[in-house]
Structures are given as structure tokens and as C-alpha cells.
A and B are shown apart, each in its own frame.
Chain A
Amino acid sequence: MTVTADGPLPSTPYDVAVVGAGVVGCAVARELARHPRLRIALVEAQDDVGQGTSKANTAILHTGFDATRGTLEARLVREGYQRLSAYAAETGIPVERVGALLVAWDEEQLAALPGLAAKAGRNGCHDTVLLGPGELYAREPHLGPGALGALHVPGESILCPWTTTLAYATQAVRAGTDLHLDTPVRAVERTADGHRLTTGRGILHARHLVNAAGLHADTLDRALGHEDFTVTPRRGQLLVYDKLARPLVRHILLPVPTALGKGVLVAPTVYGNVLLGPTAEDLHDRRATETTADGLAALRDQGRRILPALLDEEVTAVYAGLRAATEHEDYRITAHPGQAYVTVGGIRSTGLTASLAIAAHVTGLLAGTGLDPGPVRELEPVAMPNLGEAFPRPHQRPDLIAADPEYGTLVCHCERVSRGEIRDALAGPVPPRTLEGLRRRTRARAGRCQGFYCGAAVRDLFERGRSAAEPKGDRA
């Protein structure tokens, strides 16, 4: 098992280098890792997996009910939904099938619902139901006044995006993939037998290349001579409300898309919070993950109409993510056989749902670029720590605490994270390198106090755990 973040890169060429360890890159690496004969490198510019779009999204497992028919996205979302649902159940990724309600607030939106139901049917979602106001308010009693009706999409689900990405990376690394963090790719050249990547940590050779660079996928694509698409980062700011708000909402409350654009959603999270967002701002700066006063004010205005009582609750977290929007209406997944190269670009907010299907699709395309994957095997299953409220957390399991009292020793009180869970995360195959990374793996410091009580104690455990693990990491 190899995860590196410094020192020289191996000089022997890899069979495949996957650039970008977001949810898509990790899924591709995991899929390739099923082929034991392949040497795979997963190359990431940042200090952790899932650090771009994958960490800051709306955390929804989409049925694809509203996808544009005939697109690759529609097919991969639909297929990915099935695959990820099964995978989540198998690996312990928290998923809750809460269902979505597309709430109509005016006559125009109400009139659009039957069409959306028909579209859902064409996309294979045959279980949608139109609800009148009475039924809608019975399902969502805290909804603001004035809703006229809704379309119920029972299959829409919420899940943990961090655990998903980490599960893929963990399986890939365990199966022999080399994960190279803090390794930004600066240039790429074709060589006689593949690619020569110039990175922030030196040269890396690979026979085949997968571009899963997310917000930077167009830059890498251009370096290989393609002018297929341009990424325009679309910023989504989100507010995460206190867990005490969770009883206010039962479904994912989606806006009805109209000519005037999309509104915002209100959704429960698997951690037991309530999410309000996102904004949709087209930007040029690919690092502009800051929130703005205007953005947050606009979200609160819209949230006040959808779920007025939500605004009385405390805000636990505020964040912004950038979606890799392009000028095209579909994913830009393209094989370039002459270059032994596959572009996986334009993966928008649906990428989390589609990730496993994208991975299977890309592996097929790689074979078309001359990659002989060799024999295939099933990967060792992985059991991820549960961060979801709908499933027993370690502190709720007498058996676990009896075997190891560290699981009964809570450090982060708001999120009820035990010392045992923090210890396990630090000793994991893809360990966190920052407190933020630890937060995504355990929820430590992610609660309403944001570290007021536990911040220093968590930092202490992190620093001691890291220094204990350091010598091993250096040798790896």
C-alpha cells in the first residue's frame, strides 16, 4: 500500500496514470485496480483525495429523472445510481432514500410538473407521483405558505460524498494503486511508449493517461492538443444548518426548473444537518471557493420562503464548491486512441452519482486505446466507518465499546466522535494530512461548536497520531 506526498516519484513507468483524485479519478483508479497486472498511479495536486468539486457539493444520489435523454450523462447517471446504491450498501457508505419533492410555488411551475413526470418516466423513473397541496403539506408540514403542489421522486437519495471518494481510494490503494498526493501535473509530453508527466515532484512516466482533473481538465486536455471544451467554474455556496433543524424537513426539496433558471434546494444530510443552496455563479477563477455576503444573503432569502423555521436555527457550516461546467450540455468523455489517452471532462454535479459508471465506461475506452488490462478479479471489500445518523455510530454500539472503550470516549461532542474513530482514521490506508482531512473522515470539529470545545483536543490527537505515523510515511 503506497500513499506518498513528498520525495521522488518512482522512475519505472506506470501502465496507467490517472490525473485527479476526485470522486471520478478515484473511481477510475479503483476500477482499474481490479486488474492485478496493471501498475496504476493516481496523481493528485492537492494534499488529499476529493479536494475539489467532490468535497463541496449537495451530496445527492440522483436518479437522473430530469436528465436530457440520449446524453451520455443520462445513461451514466442512471447506471451509476444503481451501481453506487449497491456499492454503498456493501461498503457502509451512509445513504438515505429520503426522496425528493419538486415544489411548485407558482402556476408556471405547477404547469411544468406533469411534463417533468413524463420526462422522469422516459428516464426510467416510473414511480414519481404528483401531489396536491394537501398531500404536500402533510408530507412537509414546515414548508412555507403558498406551495401549490409537488412532484414526488421517491428514489432521490442523500449520501456521504467524502466516504464515497475515500472508499474508492482505499480500495484502489489496497489493491496496489500508488496514490501520489501534492503532485501537481505541470506539463505532459508524448514519448515513444507513452507519456512523460512533469509534476511538482519530478517526472512520472505512464503508458496510458486518464485526465480526471476536474476544474483543470481542459488545461490538461489542451496540453495534449485538444480544443474540445473550456471549464467555466460554477460556484455553489451552501449553508449547513444545525442538527436541531433536521426534524423540519423530510425530503430533498428541489426547485422546479423554469426559464428563469434554477432555484435552491433544501435537503437533509446523512449527518443529520439541513443543507440550503447552492448558488450558481459562473466565474473564471478556479480557486474562488470563498463564500460572499451577497451569496449567503440570497440563499437565506430563498430558504426563508421554502422553510421559514430553518432560518431561526444556527448555521453550523458555510462552504462553496466549484462545479466543472463547460459550454456543452453533456459530459466530455473522449478516447484518443492515437495518444493512449482518455479525457474525462465536464463532469458536473452529477459526477458523484455517476462515478462508478464513468469508471466502467472509461476502462472500456482505455482498452480501445490499446491498453491490455489482463485478467480481472474482485476487489477485497472495504468497510468504511459510518458517519451517518441513520445507522449506528460507534458510540451507540455497546459491543464495540466493550471491546474497546476508546469508542465510548467522545472527543468531538457535537458530532459525537470518539477517540477510537480518530485513531482509526489516522491509521487508515489513506490517512488525513490535515485537520480538514480528519474532519471529512470522522466529522471531528464539523459540528455546531466548530472546535470551541474539541478543537484543541482534536488537533492534539491529530498531531500526535501524525508524528507517530510519520517515519513510516517517509519510507513508503
Chain B
Amino acid sequence: MTAARRVDVLVVGAGPAGLAAAARLALAGAGRVEVLEREARPGGVPRTCAHGGFGTWTRPLTGPGYARLLTEAAERAGATLRTGVTALDWAAAGPVLTVVGPGGPETVEARAVVLATGARERPRTARLVPGTRPAGVYTTGELQRAVHLFGQHIGTRAVVAGAEEVSYAAAGTLRAAGAEVVALVTEHPSAQAGPARAQAARLRHGIPLLTGTTVTELLGHGRLSGVRVRHRDGRTAVLACDTVVFTGDFVPDHELARRGGLAMDPGTRGPAVDGSAHTSRPGVFAAGNLLHAVEPAGTAAREGARAGRAVLDHLAGAPWPDPGVPVVVSEPLRWIAPNRVTPAARPGGHVLRTGVPLPHPVLYVRQDGRLLHRRRLGPGTAHPNRTLTLPAHWHDRVDPEGGEVRVSTD
């Protein structure tokens, strides 16, 4: 027999966005606020990031420290955290989720659902990297869990595919696990991490950065024996290694969003949302890196709290906004979030990404050919895989009856 329960707000995912939303809601007296977390512990990705860079200037924290802080805040506020419980799917009608845990299957009905299911890195397979299928092939996520949560042996010589912040974090984890980092490899002409970090890796730890280079084949039967790389100019080489870590290239974990029939944004591959986390399905909100894979944990947490405010309005009887006007990007921009404009829900701002380096970029926002806003990003070059921001004050000029809003670089 499947048990059935009712709560006021059901939050799916106890990462920064979900925990911050739950804390805000519980504190504001939203009733029974429950957070489902499929992992054994709450905290989300920061829990596995055993390095600094979290928290605030005044209170710097490591990833696990930040995860603890958010968890305690949600619990203190009165939210119920249920770990080891997986949200599987939606029941046939209503905002009802089917879930399972050690206590068995149950359905949970909620007046509002907040999806905060986060993002993952594309593994080697999804990147279509050819070759054999040896052991020793990781994503940063798996590597960090293996090293920091389980203390597992990794390997002796490792190649890191990618040169963004997360790639340098992976290199650090590899070194902490006793592996030599043979090289970081990026298709782009330069690292996409902060210059201090990139330089420290190169100069202090002697890790070469191969730019304009892609991993084109994995070699070895049983255990990885090397990776073949190709430079933009056509040269190829084999880097001998027993470990390769595919970093970055995040995609939202959108299974539940799609199973719920939410309208999806083709750019982010997450649910389409307005500035207040409303999805296309009444009663269902979304927050965090499910919407933009990926932004820093602090951004996800702020967004979760913001979604919490919108949930409170919804519980108080505010009408569900119309779908709104879509916001899309033109190449080489890859995506923008939030990606719906509704009059009632102006976001603090948008985040977006470029697919190629853009020297001295200027962003143009147009609707039906009409220029709504022009903004110089800068100074310097906008890099792929790094946050670009666009303020939202131009929303006032959007014609709610007009066509899509397009953001481009020309």
C-alpha cells in the first residue's frame, strides 16, 4: 500500500537553492515545508567541494561548511529535511509527487512544489568522446565524491578535460588524492578561470595548459592507458595517463521538470521561468542550477530565497502569471536565464553564457526589431563558461503582446 501525505510546500533537492527556499518559507510561516533529498545527507554539490570559495567576504567558508550552514538554517527555521528519499514522478493529477525511500513508496501532495534538482556535468558518453570504455574515466562530481567522501584511490597520472573554475578544482582534488596532473586541456584559446588560479596551477604546480586542444579518443582496455588529443592545427598526440576527468559542460537535472510537463527552455535545457521562479505549471516553481547550469552556490541560494518569496505570494492567493514573453539568445550566446518576461515578476537580473570568447562584447536586447536595451559588458573579453550578467530594467519596455525578446551581440 502506498502512503499518501499532504504538506504545504514540497521542495525537491536539498542543495543551496532548495535549502534557502525552505528556510525562507519555514521562517515566514508557510506551514509544513518539507525538503526531499535523494542523497544520504543534505547540502548538494558544495558538500563534496572540500575547498574554499563559499560563503561571503566576511565569512569565507569551505563547500562542506557552507552546506552545513544552509542545512542548519533550514532546520532552525522549521523545515523538515527528509534525506534518502527520491522524488520519482508526478501523480496523474494535481501537484502530487510519487516518492520512495527506506519507508516505502508514498505520494506527497503539496500546495506548492519547488524544483531545485540542480545540475550535473556531461559525462564522457554524452560528450561523444570516442574510444574504448576503460576504468579511470571521471567527471569532477564523481571524482570529488570518491576522494572527499570515500577516500578512494584514483590513479597516478591524470588529464583534466576543461580549463574553467571547476577544472582547476578537479586538478586540486587529483593532487590531493596523490595523482600527478599531466595537463589541462581546453578547446578554447585560453583558460576560463580567474587568472590567479590559472597561473598558480601552471607556475606553482607545473600543470601545463593545452589550449585549442580537444580529447579525441580514450585508449586502453580494462584501465585507461592514455588519451589522444588534437590541436586546432591538426597535430595529434597521446598523453599517457590512467585517469581522465571530464569537467564542466553542465546540464540541468531536468527529469522531474520534464516528467511534469513543464515548458522547457531550449537554451538552458531547464524549465522556462519568469523572474520569480514561476514555471509554466501552476503551483510549480524552480530555482538554482536546474535553471542555469551552472552558477555559484551563492547565486543558487539567493535564487532559492527569492523563489520562497514568490511561493508565499502564491500560497496567499496571488494569481499564477501568464506564460509571458520568451527571452532567447542568438549565437554565439548559448543561453539566458530567467527566460520569460512577465510584468509582475521582474528578476534582479539575467545570467547568460557565450559559446566563444567575445572581446569587448556589447549585448543588444530587441523585441520585434525594436531595440530595448544596449549594454557594454566589460572590460576585456567575455569567456565561455563564465557568468555574464544583464540587468532587467528594460523589462518595462517589453510589449507583453509582442513577439519574443532576443539578446544578441550585434
Interfacial residues, chain A to chain B (CB-CB below 8 A): 240, 243-244, 287, 289-293, 295-296, 314-319, 395-396, 398, 401-402, 405-406, 408-410, 413, 416, 434-436, 448-453, 455-457, 459-460
Residues of B within 8 A of A405 (CB): 102-104
Q: List 19 A-B contacts (CB under 8 A).
A: A243-B255, A296-B130, A315-B125, A315-B128, A318-B125, A395-B88, A401-B102, A409-B101, A410-B100, A435-B135, A449-B141, A450-B123, A450-B124, A451-B138, A451-B139, A451-B142, A453-B39, A453-B120, A456-B150
Q: How far is the CA of A205 from the CA of B141 in the complex (A)?
A: 50
Residues of B within 8 A of A396 (CB): 100, 105
Residues of B within 8 A of A409 (CB): 84, 101-102
Contact (Cβ within 8 A) B139 A292: no
Contact (Cβ within 8 A) A402 B150: no
Residue of A289, A401, A448, A459 touching B100 (CB-CB under 8 A): A401
B221-263 CB mask vs A (1 if < 8 Å, else 0) is: 1000000000000000000000000000001010100100000
Residue of A291, A398, A413 touching B86 (CB-CB under 8 A): A413
Contact (Cβ within 8 A) B145 A457: yes
Residues of B within 8 A of A435 (CB): 135
Contact (Cβ within 8 A) A449 B132: no
Contact (Cβ within 8 A) A408 B103: yes
Residues of B within 8 A of A460 (CB): 150, 152
Q: Contact residue range for chain B?
A: 35 or more
Q: How far is the CA of A315 from the CA of B150 in the complex (A)?
A: 28
Q: Nearest Cβ distance between residue A274 and chain B, in whole angstroms?
A: 14
Residue of B39, B121, B130, B149 touching A291 (CB-CB under 8 A): B130
Residues of B within 8 A of A293 (CB): 128, 130, 216-217
Residues of A within 8 A of B101 (CB): 408-409
Residues of B within 8 A of A402 (CB): 104
**Can you name the residue of chain B whose Cβ is closest to the Cβ of A292?**
B130
Residues of A within 8 A of B139 (CB): 449-452
Q: In this complex, which of B84, B102, B120, B139 has the most chain A Cβ atoms within 10 angstroms of its Cβ?
A: B102
With A449-B120, A450-B139, A453-B141 given, is the CB distance from A395 to B258 under 8 Å?
Answer: no
Q: How far is the CA of A337 from the CA of B130 in the complex (A)?
A: 46
**B131 at interface, CB cutoff 8 A:** yes
Residues of A within 8 A of B142 (CB): 451-453, 455-456
Given contacts A409-B101, A453-B39, 13 further A-B contacts (CB under 8 A): A314-B122, A395-B86, A395-B88, A401-B100, A401-B105, A405-B102, A408-B102, A448-B126, A449-B141, A453-B141, A456-B145, A456-B150, A460-B152
With A396-B105, A398-B104, A401-B104 given, is the CB distance from A315 to B126 under 8 Å?
Answer: yes
Residues of A within 8 A of B124 (CB): 450
Residues of B within 8 A of A456 (CB): 142, 145-146, 149-150, 152
**Can you name the residue of chain A whose Cβ is closest to the Cβ of B86?**
A410
Residues of A within 8 A of B130 (CB): 290-293, 295-296, 318
**B133 at interface, CB cutoff 8 A:** yes
Contact (Cβ within 8 A) B128 A296: yes
**B1 at interface, CB cutoff 8 A:** yes
Contact (Cβ within 8 A) B141 A290: no
Contact (Cβ within 8 A) B38 A410: yes
Q: How far is the CA of A455 from the CA of B121 in the complex (A)?
A: 13
Contact (Cβ within 8 A) A290 B125: no
Residue of B2, B126, B132, B135 touching A289 (CB-CB under 8 A): B132
Q: How far is the CA of A293 from the CA of B127 in the complex (A)?
A: 11
Q: Nearest Cβ distance between residue A461 and chain B, in whole angstroms?
A: 10
Q: Nearest Cβ distance between residue A23 and chain B, in whole angstroms?
A: 20
Which residues of chain B from 177 to 220 have a CB within 8 Å of any chain A CB? 216-218
Q: How far is the CA of A456 from the CA of B177 in the complex (A)?
A: 14
Q: How far is the CA of A416 from the CA of B161 in the complex (A)?
A: 29
Which residues of chain B from 122 to 171 have a CB within 8 Å of any chain A CB? 122-126, 128, 130-133, 135, 138-139, 141-142, 145-146, 149-150, 152
Residue of A287, A410, A413, A450 touching B125 (CB-CB under 8 A): A450
Q: How far is the CA of A99 from the CA of B123 in the complex (A)?
A: 32
**Can you name the residue of chain B whose Cβ is closest to the Cβ of A294?**
B130
Q: How far is the CA of A461 from the CA of B128 in the complex (A)?
A: 29
**Can you name the residue of chain A whose Cβ is closest to the Cβ of B139?**
A452
Residue of A244, A451, A452 touching B255 (CB-CB under 8 A): A244
Q: Nearest Cβ distance between residue B297 and chain A, in whole angstroms?
A: 17
**Can you name the residue of chain B whose Cβ is closest to the Cβ of A396?**
B105
**Can you name the residue of chain B whose Cβ is closest to the Cβ of A395?**
B100
Residue of B2, B84, B103, B152 touching A459 (CB-CB under 8 A): B152
Residues of A within 8 A of B133 (CB): 289, 319, 436
**Can you name the residue of chain A whose Cβ is closest to the Cβ of B145?**
A456
Residues of A within 8 A of B146 (CB): 455-456, 459
Contact (Cβ within 8 A) A290 B123: no
Contact (Cβ within 8 A) B38 A413: yes
Q: Nearest Cβ distance between residue A279 and chain B, in whole angstroms?
A: 12
Q: Nearest Cβ distance between residue B121 and chain A, in whole angstroms?
A: 6
Contact (Cβ within 8 A) A408 B152: no
With A314-B122, A314-B251 given, is the CB distance from A290 to B104 under 8 Å?
Answer: no
Residues of B within 8 A of A317 (CB): 125
Q: How far is the CA of A434 from the CA of B154 in the complex (A)?
A: 16
Q: Nearest Cβ distance between residue B336 and chain A, in whole angstroms?
A: 19
Residues of A within 8 A of B126 (CB): 314-316, 448, 450
Contact (Cβ within 8 A) A455 B104: no
Q: How far is the CA of A413 from the CA of B253 in the complex (A)?
A: 11
Q: How far is the CA of A413 from the CA of B86 in the complex (A)?
A: 8
Residues of A within 8 A of B121 (CB): 452
Q: How far is the CA of A409 from the CA of B105 in the complex (A)?
A: 11
Contact (Cβ within 8 A) B150 A457: yes
Residues of A within 8 A of B122 (CB): 314
Residues of A within 8 A of B120 (CB): 449, 452-453
Residues of B within 8 A of A451 (CB): 123, 138-139, 142
Q: In this complex, which of B132, B135, B142 has the most chain A Cβ atoms within 10 angstroms of its Cβ?
A: B142
